[in-house]
Amino acid sequence: MKDFLKLLRIEFKRIFSNSVLLAIFIGAPIFYGVLFGYVYKQAKVINLPIVIIDEDHSPMSDKIIEAFEDNEALLVSDIRYTAGNILDEMPVKQFDAVITLPTNFEADILQKRHPEIRVDLNMANILNANTASKNIQAVLMTLNAGIEIEGLKKSGLHPTQAAASYESFKINFNKLYNSSGNYINFMLPGLLIAIMQQIIFLAMALVFARDFEDGHFGVLVKKSKSSLYHIALKSTPFIIMIPIMWFFISLLFDYFRINADIYNLPMLLLTTTLTMASMCIGMLFSIAIPSQLKATELLMVISTPAFILSGFTWPTLAFPDAIANVATYIPSTQFLSGFRKIAFYGGDVSSIKSEINTLLLICCVSFVVLVLLLQFKIYLFSKKQRKTSTQL
């Protein structure tokens, strides 16, 4: 135990003397967490620039323009009376929509000719296009209903009867789980979890690879030839430090007022299994690839697409089967699935049973392989040492 504690102090010194490791492990989650939090802090998309081409110049078209100007999500950046070459301006000014009110628009409405308002959407950014489309429809449908009801009232119907004649049935949308459509509640948790998985991967990828490169592995082998001993030695500092990083991540949830229930036993269990699975995968790469650069590069190949493959923003049901099967065994995929069940749906441990089981499977398989591989490397190193001493 005395030797273990002495080596443990050395491990901490080696960790804190490695500027790259510190930048990854401590700097990345704090910097990226704060950065992404402020990116999504506004929580919803507003002031999307639109252009209105008013070819009618009537009181009715003025009323429609005023309605668009009152909509929070839309910004009427220009009002024109002819279309001109507006499509040529789109690559530079990047309007999200162009709304054209045709000539004789008001007259056609009064004469029941059902004129058509043309809406050209810029689909280069689908999020902006969908938001613009939804708000444009809301404005136009409200005006359409108002115009129709006013027409019925002018024909002699009582206002109540006019409203009832136009509205055959009512629709009531009840929004559950993030009812405000707050984008920071939706996006930031997934990004923070992806960051944590990535920094655990990369930090653990350096622990053994660095020893192989600078010869410190030989010093450790002289102390013990047990792979379990070395795994315990290497993982202990991170078992101490990783909960501190998770604590900082949880503070970001509070700071950015993310409406998610994260302080509970199921979340603790899910976070622990994700951490252990990520640590085992990182150490496995560190042992299998005795180069810090190559180990981190290969783990980046896994961690970079992990967020997309997790199904957090794009449903896994839409993935090809081969990709969906691979994504299943990336720890963050299981964590984010369980996270949503706990944080937003109020689930308990039983609701995340499948995710926990998969994370434990990933952890166990990775751990067994890294124990065997490390033991084999210890054997090869010891054999080489004996051969060298014999020759001397």
DSSP for residue 23:
I
Domain that holds residue 300: 2-40+182-391
Instruction: Tell whether 172 is covered by a domain.
Output: no
119, 63: one domain: yes
pLDDT digits (tens, 9 = 90+) for 167-199: 554 556 677 677 767 778 888 888 889 889 988
213, 333: one domain: yes
187, 309: one domain: yes
84, 12: one domain: no
Which residue, of 132, 166, 200, is where some domain finishes?
166
Judge residue 207's burial from the number of C-beta atoms within 10 Å of its C-beta, 0-12 exposed, 13-18 middle, 19 or more buried: buried
Instruction: Tell whether 174 is covered by a domain.
Output: no
What pLDDT, on a 0 to 100 scale, did the predictor assign at position 30? 78
What pLDDT, on a 0 to 100 scale, did the predictor assign at position 317? 77
Instruction: Tell whether 55 is covered by a domain.
Output: yes
Contact 28, 76 (CB under 8 A): no
What pLDDT, on a 0 to 100 scale, did the predictor assign at position 239? 93
Which residue, of 141, 166, 191, is where some domain finishes?
166
13, 59: one domain: no
291, 359: one domain: yes
Long-range contacts from 306-314, C-beta under 8 angstroms, 24+ separation: 306/194, 306/197, 306/198, 306/330, 306/332, 306/333, 307/190, 307/191, 307/194, 307/332, 309/333, 310/190, 310/194, 310/336, 310/337, 311/336, 311/337, 312/190, 312/336, 312/340, 313/187, 313/190
228, 366: one domain: yes
141, 200: one domain: no
Instruction: Tell whether 349 is covered by a domain.
Output: yes
CA pair distance 113, 276, nearest whole angstrom: 68
CA pair distance 81, 382, nearest whole angstrom: 85
Backbone angles phi, psi at 51, to 5 degrees: -120, 135
Q: Could you tell me the pTM of the whole model?
A: 0.78
Judge residue 366's burial from the number of C-beta atoms within 10 Å of its C-beta, 0-12 exposed, 13-18 middle, 19 or more buried: buried
**pLDDT below 70 — which residues of the chain?**
43, 149, 151-173, 176, 180, 389-392
Give the pair of three-digit tokens for residue 90: 């789109």
Instruction: Tell whether 175 is covered by a domain.
Output: no
What pLDDT, on a 0 to 100 scale, did the predictor assign at position 163? 61
110, 186: one domain: no
Judge residue 321's burial from the number of C-beta atoms within 10 Å of its C-beta, 0-12 exposed, 13-18 middle, 19 or more buried: exposed
What pLDDT, on a 0 to 100 scale, did the predictor assign at position 165? 60
How far, in whole angstroms, is CA 71 from its chain's centroid?
28
96, 33: one domain: no
329, 217: one domain: yes
277, 159: one domain: no
